[in-house]
Amino acid sequence: MAFSKRKWILLPIAILIFLGLAYWMIGKIQYRNNVMDVEDYEPISTLKVPEHKLTRAKFPFIDVHNHQWTMPVQDLDKLITEMDSLNMGVMVNLSGFRGKYLEWSLDNVNKNYPNRFILFLNINFENLDDAGWPNETLAMMDEAVKQGVRGLKVYKGLGLTDKDNEGNRIAIDDPRLDPIWAKCGALGIPVLIHSGEPSSFWNPKDKHNERWLELKQEPSRYRDPAKVPPFEQVMSEQHHVFLKHPETKFINAHLGWFGNDLERLGKLFDELPNVYTELGAVLAELGRQPTAARSFLIKYQDRIMFGKDTYKMQEYYTYFRVLETGDEYFDYYRKRHAHWKMYGVELPDSVLRKVYYQNALQVIPGIDKSLFPIGE
């Protein structure tokens, strides 16, 4: 049967459409087969630039933000060997806790390496409605300092999840806590306070959130605005405490979560001379803005200390490289903190000494100064 002219025209068009759809489907299948998760993407850079990989700090340093969770029973020999390799003179263990745990931790340190570790006390703020508050807690602080405690560490639960006996959130600037902050000033010990989280943890978990990967891997870090106060409120409460207690020194942990806004952090320093900060877990913020970071670190060189947070020996190498070298475009050690590359800020030796040890010696009492080149 002969085809009509209409069929002769439609047939090749239909064939072309079919082939086009088939090509499109094949392309989609190939694309799907080649898609990888962002967590698996680890490109090797072809960039050829000078590299200065460091495994030891140029000067002995004090890590003011560390956590050793088993110190009452820990074999400290291995840790000391690693500290010596890194050129870490003193480690501040912020997880001293209280009671027998604190007592046993101090015993272990004092019997083995009394001049290499500093312990901070931790308080249960959810007891603030109990009978005996705050006098029993103040007495505990007195005794802890007599035993050798050199500071108070405040965890992020205060202001976010800690509740009083009525089930209400305890604000960081709750007046019931004022005796604690004042006592630290009277005892001459600093408060290292971690309040809040990166502001991105409050933002929608979508493609525009630069901490999306971290929230995917650690979903509990997301701060649901319906369940916790806004980021700005938490920051405001914290800063109000700093303002109310000018005789107490505060170490605002993690660059105060303003590592992505150094101008704002600088204004805080300008307004509050009793406030310091440290670099724990936020090095990636400095490493992506080397010019601004270098200027900031030099301008506020008397207010910044070295801190690491989670203890993993090899991760210190990145800190040394960012702070000491001018290297370009190198990896951070944890992708969920930084999917971007690092750049060194190459601090002058005079500033590096302050960040590494001199500032901590001024703020934290009881550190053995003979471990550090004080005359330089």
Q: What is the mean pLDDT of each run of 10 residues along the chain (376 residues)?
A: 64 77 73 73 93 98 98 97 98 97 98 98 96 96 98 98 97 98 98 97 95 94 95 98 98 98 98 98 98 98 98 98 98 92 98 98 98 81
The pLDDT score that the predictor gives to residue 328 is 98
The pLDDT score that the predictor gives to residue 21 is 82
Asked if the structure places residue 25 within a domain, the reply is no
Q: Which helix (H) or strand (E) holds 100?
A: helix 99-112
**3-class DSSP state of 16:** helix
The pLDDT score that the predictor gives to residue 331 is 95
Per the structure, the complete domain to which residue 235 belongs is given by 61-371
Asked if the structure places residue 8 within a domain, the reply is no
Report the alpha-carbon distance of residue 256 to residue 108 in Å, rounded: 32
The pLDDT score that the predictor gives to residue 280 is 98
List the Cα angle 238/241/247 in 5-degree steps: 135
Asked if the structure places residue 132 within a domain, the reply is yes
The pLDDT score that the predictor gives to residue 375 is 64
Judge residue 333's burial from the number of C-beta atoms within 10 Å of its C-beta, 0-12 exposed, 13-18 middle, 19 or more buried: middle
Asked if the structure places residue 287 within a domain, the reply is yes
Asked if the structure places residue 218 within a domain, the reply is yes
The pLDDT score that the predictor gives to residue 13 is 75
Asked if the structure places residue 52 within a domain, the reply is no
Contacts of 342 (CB under 8 A, 6+ apart): 283, 284, 287, 288, 318, 321, 322, 327, 329, 330, 331, 332
- Which CATH number do you get for residue 257? 3.20.20.140
Report the alpha-carbon distance of residue 106 to residue 27 in Å, rounded: 65
The pLDDT score that the predictor gives to residue 215 is 94
Asked if the structure places residue 345 within a domain, the reply is yes
Asked if the structure places residue 37 within a domain, the reply is no
Q: Which helix (H) or strand (E) holds 64?
A: strand 61-66
Indicate the number of domains in the chain: 1
The strand order across the sheet containing 61-66 reads: 61-66, 88-93, 117-119
